Structure 1
């Protein structure tokens, strides 16, 4: 299933979404790092290396935590002291500095996306527009509930303002692109149907406020078959609900506890690339062998990009779309329809959905999340609902006899994929504890 692409004005240069779509049309998977450094020279070197990698790549400028939460007063002292931040402080660095970072590197043949994590991102969007950057990501739900205590209604209002501002900035020269982070809620232990539903709902939110180029995300979970069905469900719902939007799917390599061995880390990344290829996804966010220990280097990011590109080329088999027979599709469709039926204004509908528990994220402690749902892994590693709270899933989900979710069981589920991949990658027997690289 391919995305419907609207006609673009002939004077526009190729933007982020159009670049990814063009590569996908030629059978290539676009791979992307999650890379951000506070030093401008280091950031430019990272972008240059990403562009030169033996893969079809796009660039990333990931912002630091201070900028994400709007604590700009803390950025300048850190920069003066030479203290490395965990990302690029795009609002604090002078515009001329960032333009020098991008000059001769970013362009139509190497678009750059800014990644941040802010629930109140007005300061970030204003700077992006000033710099002429036309691709970023996030969302009113996915960048609010997991990251702090900002009221959901405040995040939705902020993201509405930013989406409209960004969408109207078409004098940037290319169609502005927004990626929903909704398919990555908390990174793990959120059942696939809810990941799909929130990704679709955030995409609809972006469209409602003027965005015409959108990507929808899904984070690799714990079972390849279940993930395959989930991505197909995401594609099917987008095809039905976003017929007038240029959209594509981005898969994230597993965002939970990552393998501690090099072999295990590469095994997870290979399976993520294979998931993207199986489902016709157009882009993949990679992770590196260093994820379990520290922020990866430029060289480790490039190695991950090239490995994922090779894995995608070596495994070109596509899967069959299970269509409406998929359990994940049925659940996701029910969640989306329930939210859309709450109110004609999607901003209001999202607030009401969390108030009523129609959307409820397991293990999320945000005050606006009811916290009545629980999830667990079954015997085969599929992520299932243990308790559905007030989710509008009716007879779709049969939790049967309740299995109490214990602290020990939760910790085991959180580390399931890490342990499995580490053991299998090096042939260790079950129960083996692994540390370091192998």
Structure 2
């Protein structure tokens, strides 16, 4: 049976083919509740002066499984902050995609759900073969769903999604693990979580994956981290169909247009310098409101232009001696030694504190590890908790570095830096 809304293309193969031509694939984080607006946004993304892929970002009600509220909003005409793909009739979504999704323009669904069963059912019915998330990264930051429930949900959904291959459609899953809480997680933890979630997806049948890394504060440290991520994927992923996606900074964003573009430009430079294949952009409106289609297109075209004039920089690959690589490898190895089933290994690792996300208040996160920004803007560990990094990180004298005033200053560091504001007292 033909796929509703056009034939889906292998998302991973599309991105890697663009990279082989020297092109960075750029992508917005775009979602509108009204089908006509969603179709207009996808068409504008496709027409942008860039190598782009489309995004359908889902609404908050759908993300948490409150489908009754999503239905009521549609019935009452209440605006939604994303596209309710489960609630809209599949024929409606098929019309959104018709004539837009094709071999030149794949579309990915983004959501943020620890309970994504209904979402994956809708994707499968529509043959939408690219989405993102993960058992850890779509659980700990977004609510209080028990981690064990999220792991079980994601195992079931990944296996169901993998079944698309039997219909001649290659499913693609992107880990969100490299974006935990958006900021103040040291890069080694982001890299480790991204690799572990990719291994989890593969264990449950998905053969086309992408691994994420969110731009942090220090460009040199980010370059080191992305090279570590690439090296670990080459060593550990049992599939050649993978690529790296960089997220423009996910913390407190600049308020000025100039600051926003400077920060986005650095993200594009990071992607190109490290050979990353795809970039999720942000717009000048991030600090104020949901961006318009026009603002998204402007961000796509700006990022593509910066990338086109930036050369790869393989000379900055620190190899296996790089601190981020060594720390990330230690975290991954410690988790994989706990159980051959990666889902059970993840649960055991969080229970023991081998994985611990700084400042994450989810009940299944130990909350003992702490991080801080040093004088060069590099993210480092102030307290390891039970993280298996004692031989690699010296936290002596650092615990007192984390204060409430210092934490607030760190959270707004990027906005102040790119907007040209003075630093507050710590």
Asked if TM exceeds 0.5, the reply is yes
Q: Tell me whether 1:234 sits opposite 2:229 in the alignment.
A: yes
Indicate the residue corresponding to 1:331 in structure 2: 327
Q: Which runs of 5+ in 2 are unaligned?
A: 1-6
In 2: Cα distance, 1:138 partner to 1:228 partner: 23
Q: Tell me whether 1:261 sits opposite 2:256 in the alignment.
A: yes
- Aligned residue for 1:395, secondary structure, equals coil
- Aligned residue for 2:391, secondary structure, equals helix
- Aligned residue for 2:189, secondary structure, equals helix
Q: Tell me whether 1:57 sits opposite 2:57 in the alignment.
A: no
In 1: Cα distance, 2:243 partner to 2:370 partner: 30
In the alignment, is the contact (CA less than 8 A) between 2:350 and 2:366 conserved in 1? yes
Q: Tell me whether 1:107 sits opposite 2:105 in the alignment.
A: no
How far 1:22 sits from its partner (Å)? 0.5
Superposed CA deviations along residues 279-321 of structure 1, whole A, max 9, x for unmatched, are 0000000000000000000000000000000000111242421
Q: Select which of 107, 120, 123 maps to 2:115.
A: 120
Indicate the residue corresponding to 2:175 in structure 1: 180
Q: Select which of 302, 306, 317 maps to 2:301.
A: 306
Q: Select which of 55, 63, 70 maps to 1:68.
A: 63
Q: Tell me whether 1:379 sits opposite 2:375 in the alignment.
A: yes
How far 1:223 sits from its partner (Å)? 0.2
The alignment of Structure 1 onto Structure 2 pairs a total of residues equal to: 417
Indicate the residue corresponding to 1:362 in structure 2: 358
In 1: Cα distance, 2:175 partner to 2:150 partner: 14
Indicate the residue corresponding to 2:318 in structure 1: 322
TM-score scaled by length of structure 2: 0.96
Indicate the residue corresponding to 2:339 in structure 1: 343
Change over 3 Å in CA distance of 1:13–1:420 after alignment to 2: closer
Q: Select which of 240, 247, 250 maps to 2:245.
A: 250
- Give every structure 1 segment of 4 or more consecutive aligned residues whose post-TM-superposition deviation is greater than 4 Å: none
How far 1:136 sits from its partner (Å)? 0.3
Q: Tell me whether 1:410 sits opposite 2:411 in the alignment.
A: no
Indicate the residue corresponding to 1:38 in structure 2: 33
In the alignment, is the contact (CA less than 8 A) between 1:183 and 1:195 conserved in 2? yes
In the alignment, is the contact (CA less than 8 A) between 1:207 and 1:245 conserved in 2? no
Residue correspondence of structure 1 range 96-245 to structure 2 within 5 A: 96-245=91-240
Change over 3 Å in CA distance of 1:317–1:15 after alignment to 2: closer
In 1: Cα distance, 2:343 partner to 2:36 partner: 40
In the alignment, is the contact (CA less than 8 A) between 2:8 and 2:106 conserved in 1? no
Superposed CA deviations along residues 40-78 of structure 1, whole A, max 9, x for unmatched, are 000000000000000000000000000000000101221
Q: Tell me whether 1:19 sits opposite 2:17 in the alignment.
A: no
How far 1:173 sits from its partner (Å)? 3.4
How far 1:372 sits from its partner (Å)? 0.2
In 2: Cα distance, 1:317 partner to 1:330 partner: 23
Alignment RMSD (CA, Å): 1.3
Q: Which runs of 5+ in 1 are unaligned?
A: 1-11, 433-438
Bigger shift: 237-246 or 410-419? 237-246
Bigger shift: 339-348 or 168-177? 168-177
Change over 3 Å in CA distance of 1:278–1:380 after alignment to 2: same
In 2: Cα distance, 1:13 partner to 1:119 partner: 25
In the alignment, is the contact (CA less than 8 A) between 2:208 and 2:239 conserved in 1? no
- Aligned residue for 1:137, secondary structure, equals strand
